[in-house]
Amino acid sequence: MRLRRVVVGNGIAGLTAGEALRAGGYDGELVVVGEEPHPPYSRPALSKALLRDLADVSSHRLPEPETEAVEMLGVRATGLDPARRVVRLDDGSETSYDGLAIATGTRARRLGPEGCGELTLRGLDDALALQERLAARPSVIVVGAGPLGMEIASGCLDAGCEVTLVARGAPLATQLGAVLSGVLTRAAVGRGLRIVTSSSARVLDGTAVEADGRLLSADLVISAVGDEPNVEWLADSGLLVGGALVVDSRGRLTGLSGVVAAGDVATFPTKHGPRRVPLWTSAIDQAKTAAAGLLRGDAAPELVFQPYFWTEQFGLSLKVCGDLVFSGAPEVVVGDLAGDSMLLRWAQPDGTATVAAVNHRIPVPKLRRMTHPPSASRHE
């Protein structure tokens, strides 16, 4: 009988998993279930190019897959029965599988009550709705000062809006450390961003935020306070461990053959312990690993996770290779910390390094090589 492998999720992880199955020689039936009805798009572009240039409506589009998959788009998976090997769908039907790749991603976390008008930015529909609203140059409050919140604030400023950012501490400090936080915050303030620091913010509705007891209001309130994995549909599957979808170094669910998971939804082993790492290259590398794990089991290579992070905001471009750990003062390889172009390097205890380029053009493979311990890069 012809095999039937099913990929649930149509973001970059699902897309890559399907293509990697084909590239790995799988020629059986391939079914892709995707909640979003859209053709493939780049999520990172939604808060960067798509917000920066409101006239460009194609900067997010990705090449169509050539996997000859049966695509079930606009359909949500609502349940999984691993004993019967079926995925239940929200149109009331079921689809059976011999092998399953779970790549259902995450959704934006919200702060306000359901339906209060608070905007978030996670999917293409969110981005298009935000583009439309920004055309009238509304005043904007962005809640959350991580990379996404800062990119949204930057895009809104570029659109001519007055923007207030509600931050718990120094913007980006949690993710990128004090030095890069300082560099990017300086650029943000220079471009006119107003920053309100508040230990606890409450979104009251689509136009009002309470920050440490103080009432802030604007035409739009956009929250960017992290994401939540889409795992509810797996609640009665027995697959979740403490609410998380935990995979091994080959993307496989422990103790269950024929099921793998990849992308933002999956908690996978990193050298800092099991983590979800919702980044573009993380999703791609995990998906390739999981597809091989599904096809070849123990013979498949283990995930080699090499973090790559980038952001564009307030006229600055930042690219980072290596672990996203930024303790202490970096070595300034090029430029200076007071300028707007620099190459910085943080030595890590394990001999690797974290390297960040701010408005400094450098081939990323070269940046990556700078993260290797000295012995590994002797032949440069």
Q: Establish if 15 lies at the interface with another protein (CB under 8 A).
A: yes
Residue 379 engages another protein in binding (rule: CB under 8 A): no
The piece of 86-94, 245-253, 277-285, 372-380 that touches another protein (CB under 8 A) is 277-285
Query: For residues 22 and 30, what is the distance between their CA atoms, to the nearest angstrom?
Result: 9
- The reply on whether position 23 binds another protein by CB under 8 A is yes
* Count of residues touching another protein (by CB under 8 A): 30
Distance separating alpha carbons of residues 290 and 296, to the nearest angstrom? 10
Residue type, 352: T
Strand arrangement, sheet containing 70-73: 70-73, 29-34, 4-8, 99-102, 259-261
Kindly give the pairing relationship between strand 220-223 and strand 308-313. Answer: unpaired
CB of residue 93 to another protein, shortest distance in Å = 30
Q: How far is the CB of 188 from another protein (least distance, A)?
A: 20
Binding of another protein at residue 336 (CB under 8 A)?
no
- The residue type found at 155 is G
The interface region with another protein, picked from 118-126, 183-191, 305-313, 372-380 by CB under 8 A, is: 305-313
CA distance 219 to 139: 5
Based on CB atoms, which residue is closest to another protein, 141 or 320? 320
Asked if 220 contacts 97 with a C-beta cutoff of 8 angstroms, the reply is no
Binding residue for another protein, selected from 328, 363, 374, 379, defined by CB under 8 A: 363
Q: Is 333 in the site for another protein (CB under 8 A)?
A: no
| 148 sits in which H/E element | helix 147-158
How many other C-beta atoms are found inside a 10 Å radius of the C-beta of residue 313?
A: 27
Q: Which stretches of 297-336 are DSSP H helices?
A: none
Rounded distance, CA 139 to CA 143, Å? 13
| Cβ burial, residue 93 (10 Å; 0-12/13-18/19+) | exposed
User: Which region, judged by CB under 8 A, interacts with another protein, from 196-204, 292-300, 333-341, 363-371?
Assistant: 363-371
Task: State the minimum distance, in angstroms, from the CB of residue 362 to another protein.
Answer: 6
**Of the candidate residues 175, 197, 249, 281, the single one contacting another protein (CB under 8 A):** 281
Any contact of residue 310 with another protein (CB under 8 A)? yes
Cβ–Cβ under 8 Å, residues 51 and 130: yes
- The secondary structure of residue 254, as a DSSP letter, is T
The smaller minimum CB distance to another protein, of residues 48 and 168, is found at 48
Work out which of 284, 294, 342, 370 binds another protein, going by CB under 8 A: 284
Instruction: Read off the tokens for 223.
Output: 């929250």
Q: What does the per-residue mask of binding to another protein show for 38-77, with x meaning CB under 8 A?
A: ----x-xx---x---------xxxxx--x-----------
Piece in contact with another protein (CB under 8 A), picked from 102-110, 225-233, 241-249, 309-317? 309-317
Binding site for another protein (CB under 8 A): 15-16, 19, 23, 42, 44-45, 49, 59-63, 66, 280-281, 284, 308, 310, 312, 317, 319, 361-368
